[in-house]
Structure 1
Amino acid sequence: MSELSGARRKRRDAAENRERILDHAEQLFEIHGLETGFHRIANDLGIGVGTVYRHFPDRDALFLSLYERYHQRIEELGETMLTRPEGMPRVLAFIDSTIAFSARRPVARRVSARVRQAHPDQVRSSRWEPEISAAVRQAKEAGDLRDDVEVTDVAVLAGMLADLATIDEPRRSILLPRMRALTMDALRPVGQARPGLGTVALSVEDLTALAHQSGRG
């Protein structure tokens, strides 16, 4: 093996190790909380803890790298949103993609909150924010969205539904569709037909269990 090819192999191996560390750290943070230590990550992966520290000198560096991953994925979802017709379809695509992202990456919101608190200068806005604002305006002009709704209202509602996407099954499949349907009703102009909620409500017992579910991280 030439010196050049050997160097390329080392760089490739280092990049693969970095991605493995990020993947596994994300899993552990979701299960055990954000304070999971580097020794646990290293032991699970069968690597030395020094390898983890070479890629991520401290916990904040690891959180920032995960945050960058999440930001990139959100940007990709924005591109998908633009494949939908203008107006309300894009508003709904934004809400549903926010929910889907949170369901696939349930720890992302906690990691992002940690970054916002510790490194506010590193928080990045999505380049799709103007497109979402335009979709809200177009939906109101078309009569598909109530006149007094603003883009910030839509963003807050999307975030609330995304939080529900992180709860355990089977409660998530019961609660999330109903809350989404109620959210859609709240966004519709007065007088539009209201479809059924589609699922049965949570039982009192399930709601009590959910309320007492211990937080992670």
Structure 2
Amino acid sequence: MKHIVILEDHSDAQQWLRAVAEQALQPDSIAIYGTLSQALAALEHSQPDLALVDLNLPDGSGLEYISAYQQASNTAYSVVTTIYDDDLHLFPALAAGAKGYLLKEQSKSKLVAALQGILEGEPAISPQISLRMISHFRELERKKNLGSELIKQLTPREIEVLSLISKGHTANECGKILTLSKYTVSGYIKSIYEKLEINSRAEATTIALSHGLI
């Protein structure tokens, strides 16, 4: 790992992650960006070997960077570094292309070990996240069977919106992609939730994953 990017807006966390990355991987260089726009601008000129990405940024979502990085590099390796361990953050991140998901609350030694594992082909995933994923996939078949009947009720446009929101896009972003107003998209999302009998984006992502929509 010669070049590493850290996308994180809090200065203390920036230095903490820098120390972790230096100890784990001894890179030639580490670039730190505090905003999404800065990181995306840099991505146009060079792609890192590894990106440690926070999800909540002052000017957008880390998911946007992960997606752009995936498109820019065939060897993109993004690892989410966050405080969030819930499905609403986890699965959209994985769908966007993240290859790892680490909780910043872990000790430095555990984070170092997780990053070192990348060199051995091991995914950088916190134990709590692994357990959540196992639980998720145990439920996947049950939800897939239920979703198979309910998803038949969706219109082609609703299928498109479901696919996009499951990838982490906001209503506004969906509108731009589909050339619709964000209010029209919000109406589709409401209809999707009602037809699928769900209440969250995490549940929508689960159903979309099980039906190959992302």
Larger helix share, 1 or 2: 1
Tell me the TM-score range normalised by the shorter chain.
Answer: 0.3 to 0.5
Scaled by the length of structure 2, the TM-score of the pair is: 0.32
Structure with greater strand percent: 2
**What is the TM-score normalised by the length of structure 1?**
0.32
Instruction: Answer 1 or 2: higher relative contact order, Cα 8 Å, separation at least 6.
Output: 1
